[in-house]
Structure 1
Amino acid sequence: MTDEVSAIRFRLSVPRITFMKNHSSASDRRICGMAQRGGRSEWERQQAAARREAERAAKEEARREKEAERRRKQQHVEDQQKRSEDRTREVEQRVAALDGALPGALQRAPLRFDDLVVKPKIPRFDPGRLDTPEFQPAWAEYEPEPPGLFSLLFGGSARHDREVERAKQAFQDAVTAHKERESQRLSALSKARGEHAARVRAIEDEARSENALLNTRSVEFAQGRPEAVEWFVARILERSAYPEGFPRKFQVAYRPQNRDIVVELELPPTSVIPDVRGYKYVKTRDAIDPIPRPATEVKKRYAQLIASVALRTLHEILSATPADVVDAVVFNGRLTTTDRATGKTTLLHLLSVESERAEFEDLVLSKVDAVACLKRLNALVSPNPYDLEAIEPLIEFDLKRFRFADDIDVVSDLDSRKNLLKLNPTEFEHLVRELFSAMGAEAWTTLPSKDGGVDAVATSKNIFFGGVCLIQAKRWSNLVGLDAVHALTGVMSDHNATTGVLVTTSWFGRASEQFAQRNRIKLINGAELKHLIKEHLGIDVVPGVAPKHKPRASNNKQTGRPGPTQ
């Protein structure tokens, strides 16, 4: 019974189980399909999110790149603008320095002999370690420890005594070595001190020597000795600070007979004037373009500059020298350049001015226009200095022609050379005629009784100013005054002469030189005559007279009275 029931139950249960199995499989498939469809959607969403993040990152990177590029371009523009502003500022500073050539000099104190006193710079003595002694050896560093109670019971006292003896010996050796090292140190220190003292003495001796020479020059300067006066004026010009690009070449001569300084100074080149006003940045072309300075302004600025240099030089010399030594300054401004026609280096004079102290000190230089001021001083200035149009200077600078021998008065009687003052009038006039013939002129002397004040007549295309030239020879021993030059102009007018030459064994005053310059007269003083005779005739002569070194009293009037020989 039981088995049957079990079989029935088995049979009844099989289809049910199968049905349930099939039903479970379909449900599982539906659930699995739903799970699969749900999985693909999540992956897609993840991929889409990743793509969106990548796109966002790319956009952000592009934005950053664009912003960085914008900043780079902006920085470049700012850098270019700053570069143009810096270059403009440099030009403005250069122009300001040029404009300050005269005002800057007026603010500086004039040079004095006291400013040239050498103050020796004594170096500090530095002994280094030689100045530090070593510490002396101390017995405590060598003394052995005393023996303990236990050591004393086993013979430690004798051992300690031996250690003490050895320690004493070591200590004594250390003291001896220390003394020896200290002796060497003290010896080296003494030697170093001696060497330093020797250096100090040498520096002080050199300073004393230079100051002694300076004192001698100061005394000779006060006496009006040419070498001392020229030396001091050279120091004045050396200490004159000019902007960068200015040459520092000059020559100085002192004529004690006139108490004047003749300065030949190299002018700055035309390139010292900036041909641009500044610079501007053109953003569209990313270029820095110069802003041209008008040519008229460049030329005007150069004319102002060289006029300022001339006035500044006159001021520096006259303010630093006393009136009883220097009463006037003649300034010749020259320029060394290249001749465009020949390619050779040539020297051109662009400016020449002479000013007496009283006239110059009456000027208010801080307020003058430099060009107008030179015009008031009757300066000779190139009409176009920037274009290098040259002028003839008031006085040709030739140092060897300025100089009389210092010992003429002393040795003239003993000298084997020909003394011009000892020639008779006819001999002197013939010597002058020979000189002009040797210089390329067709010259002859006149009859003494019919010369009308003319000692010789010369004609030549190359002689001084060309044409017919009347020559007067003055064998004088004192200043040839203005009245003698005036007289020559009258004779020139009577004879319709083109030019005149006044030759003397002595010297001329400034008024004579200025008058001669305006009236086509060439003046030849004793020093220049000596030079010309040596150069063209090969004869070494003695003019026979030299101006006194001691300056004359402050009196500019020239009497023109001749000396004892005429």
Structure 2
Amino acid sequence: MAKRRGVWADLQRERARRQRLEQQAYRAAAQAAKKAEREREQARRAAARQAAQDERERKRLYIEERKAEAADMAADLRDRVEELDSVLVTGVWRRPDTSFASLKHTFQPPPFDPGGLDRPIPAPQWVPPRPPGAMGNLFGGRARYEREEATARQAYERERAQHAAAEADRLRLLEERRGAYDQWLATESEAVRRHNAEIDDFERQVRAGDSDAVARFFTLVLDSSPYPEGFPHRTRAIYRPEPRELVVEYELPPQSVIPAERDYKYVQTRDEIDKIARSVKEIKDRYARLIAQVALRTLHEVFAGDPVGIIEVASFNGHVSTTDPATGQPVRPCLLSVSAEKGLFSTFVLADVDPVACLKKLNALISQHPYDLEAVRPVVDFEALLSQYKFVEGMDAVAGLDSRPDLLDMKPNEFEHFTRQLFETMGMKSWVTQASKDDGVDAVAVNEDPVFGGLCVIQAKRYSGPVNVEAVRALAGVMEDKHATKGIMITTSWVTKDGHAFATRHGRIQIMECEEIKYLCKEHLGLDVLISLPKPPPKRR
């Protein structure tokens, strides 16, 4: 099983890496084109200013440039809005690029490069000394010639010996280079063969309806779908073989993806470019329409990306990770939930539908006020399915890290430093730590930040199982000993029901569990971390 999961992780990382490269190349090309166009326009304007003969002309050109700058900003804004408005159409016209064939590797080795060793070393040539003439023979020339010839012959023989040795070295090096190339060729070919054999086995499992394999395949399909910048692009998937249903839990984009500006205008009297705000109603309407597009596009990509016809029903739960403005606490409400049968969904012309109306046709549960985080109850409870089926969690393809750190893999002192770094980023300071001898990490940190009303004691538990009420009581005891006004229990797992009850009665203890840790790491450290618990934490209302 470990081998299979390694392959799936490699596939996810490879798909994410390819998608990031494609998106980066696309954005870089578009930005370069716009930048080049603007640079040409700026050069033209600069030349015009240089040619101006008086102050009035220069001022006029400056005003034109500022107006053009505002116009460029407005054009970028319109491009962004158009990109968001076409999320569904873009997904519909895009052909799925994830198939079993695309997951396989091909190997086209470069030709053998002898590095010049295939060219023989030129052999030395015998060049005898010039013989003496008739007069030279009369005055001892013959003897000199014979001595010169003997010396030249000796030098020639030395060169021949050196050439023979050099040629032997060349042939030896050429043979070694060829052997190394052949060995590399065999190793790479075998690696490709093994990988493709695993893909063939993966395909057989998908065709057989294995829930784990099907969920993994469709996670790859959805992860390969490029979305505009600012979309989290995180998915979890479960496949139910008996109804042939794929359940997708999708991370919706935050409200901030809708631009708050409607236009830009240059004000000459103040020499400033003013932002013209978009109305709150328009922002809310656009956000509702956007998440409806995401839901329909995901359903389309599930049915369109089905290579063997094993999906008859697709269910979509769209959540958004944000902060509750009333409490300041992280929340993840479900804003949209829908199930669709393949037969009915295939009759829709998605390029021409109104997304919200189309979802209503499917009897979707849609938040009446999604911008205000008004949640709905999912059509299919994803969490309830976890006890029955395996699920596959996707990775963040736009942000994301190719190998996310697993907090449970950290050593105790590493987790202590990680916790300190997290809270320091959140504004804490004046750390004093002391080690304990219980399982995992139990680091006590004292903070004097006045925001927390005095001293704040933090206990960090790197656990994979529940933290019981005794640990929470121990935190209360440390608070009394330190005369702290607040205590925080932060754990990679979860606190038992009795522990939560004790913290509520105490009134000055805050509990931060696994999901909140992942949110805080993303929010304050920019890290997408894993916490590989052996089982999911209990769901509490």
Q: TM-score over 0.5 for the alignment? A: yes
Q: Which letter maps to 1:334?
A: H
Compared CA separation, residues 66 and 187, structure 1 to 2 (3 A): closer
SS at structure 1 position matched to 2:175 = helix
Q: Distance in 1 between matches of 2:86 and 2:115?
A: 49
Aligned equivalent of 2:246: 261
1:297-342 Cα distance to aligned partner (Å, 9 max, x none): 2111111111111111111111121575111111011101112233
Q: How does 1:69-84 map to 2 (within 5 A)?
A: 69-84=55-70
8 Å CA contact 1:352, 1:393 repeated in 2: yes
Which residue, out of 105, 109, 116, partners 2:103? 116
Aligned equivalent of 2:262: 277
Compared CA separation, residues 535 and 234, structure 1 to 2 (3 A): closer
Residue 190, structure 1, aligned to residue 191, structure 2: no
Compared CA separation, residues 70 and 194, structure 1 to 2 (3 A): farther
8 Å CA contact 1:253, 1:402 repeated in 2: no
Which residue, out of 131, 156, 169, partners 2:141? 156
Q: Distance in 1 between matches of 2:115 and 2:57?
A: 58
Unaligned runs of 5+ in 2: 1-49, 392-534
Q: Distance in 2 between matches of 1:382 and 1:265?
A: 15
Residue 105, structure 1, aligned to residue 91, structure 2: yes
Aligned equivalent of 2:121: 134
8 Å CA contact 1:123, 1:200 repeated in 2: no
SS at structure 2 position matched to 1:402 = coil
Aligned equivalent of 1:345: 330
Compared CA separation, residues 65 and 331, structure 1 to 2 (3 A): closer
Root-mean-square deviation (CA, aligned residues, Å) is 2.7
Q: Distance in 1 between matches of 2:103 and 2:67?
A: 48
Compared CA separation, residues 316 and 535, structure 1 to 2 (3 A): closer
Aligned equivalent of 2:512: none
8 Å CA contact 2:250, 2:316 repeated in 1: yes
Q: Distance in 2 between matches of 1:168 and 1:334?
A: 91
Structure 1, 220-229 or 145-154: larger mean CA deviation = 145-154
8 Å CA contact 1:323, 1:357 repeated in 2: no
Q: Which letter maps to 1:80?
A: R
Q: Distance in 1 between matches of 2:298 and 2:198?
A: 26
Q: Distance in 2 between matches of 1:320 and 1:211?
A: 20
Residue 227, structure 1, aligned to residue 212, structure 2: yes
Unaligned runs of 5+ in 1: 1-63, 406-530, 537-566
SS at structure 1 position matched to 2:120 = coil
Q: Which letter maps to 1:354?
A: S
Residue 395, structure 1, aligned to residue 380, structure 2: yes
1:188, distance to aligned residue in structure 2 (A)? 2.1
Q: Which letter maps to 1:96?
A: E
Aligned equivalent of 1:94: 80
SS at structure 2 position matched to 1:351 = strand
8 Å CA contact 1:335, 1:347 repeated in 2: yes
Residue 206, structure 1, aligned to residue 191, structure 2: yes
1:388, distance to aligned residue in structure 2 (A)? 1.4
SS at structure 2 position matched to 1:311 = helix
1:113-133 Cα distance to aligned partner (Å, 9 max, x none): 222221125345444333443
1:373, distance to aligned residue in structure 2 (A)? 0.4
Aligned equivalent of 1:61: none
Q: Distance in 1 between matches of 2:69 and 2:171?
A: 63
Q: Distance in 2 between matches of 1:352 and 1:120?
A: 43
Instruction: Using the aligned pairs only, state the percent identity.
Output: 42
TM-score, reference length from structure 1: 0.57
1:69, distance to aligned residue in structure 2 (A)? 3.6
Which residue, out of 164, 168, 177, partners 2:162? 177
Larger radius of gyration: 1
1:467-507 Cα distance to aligned partner (Å, 9 max, x none): xxxxxxxxxxxxxxxxxxxxxxxxxxxxxxxxxxxxxxxxx
Which residue, out of 229, 236, 250, partners 1:244? 229
1:80-109 Cα distance to aligned partner (Å, 9 max, x none): 223212211211221122122111112222
Figure out how many residues of one structure are paired with residues of the other and give that number.
346
1:221, distance to aligned residue in structure 2 (A)? 0.7
SS at structure 2 position matched to 1:137 = coil
Q: Which letter maps to 1:119?
A: T
TM-score, reference length from structure 2: 0.60
1:253-306 Cα distance to aligned partner (Å, 9 max, x none): 101121100101101111111111232222222111122222222111111111
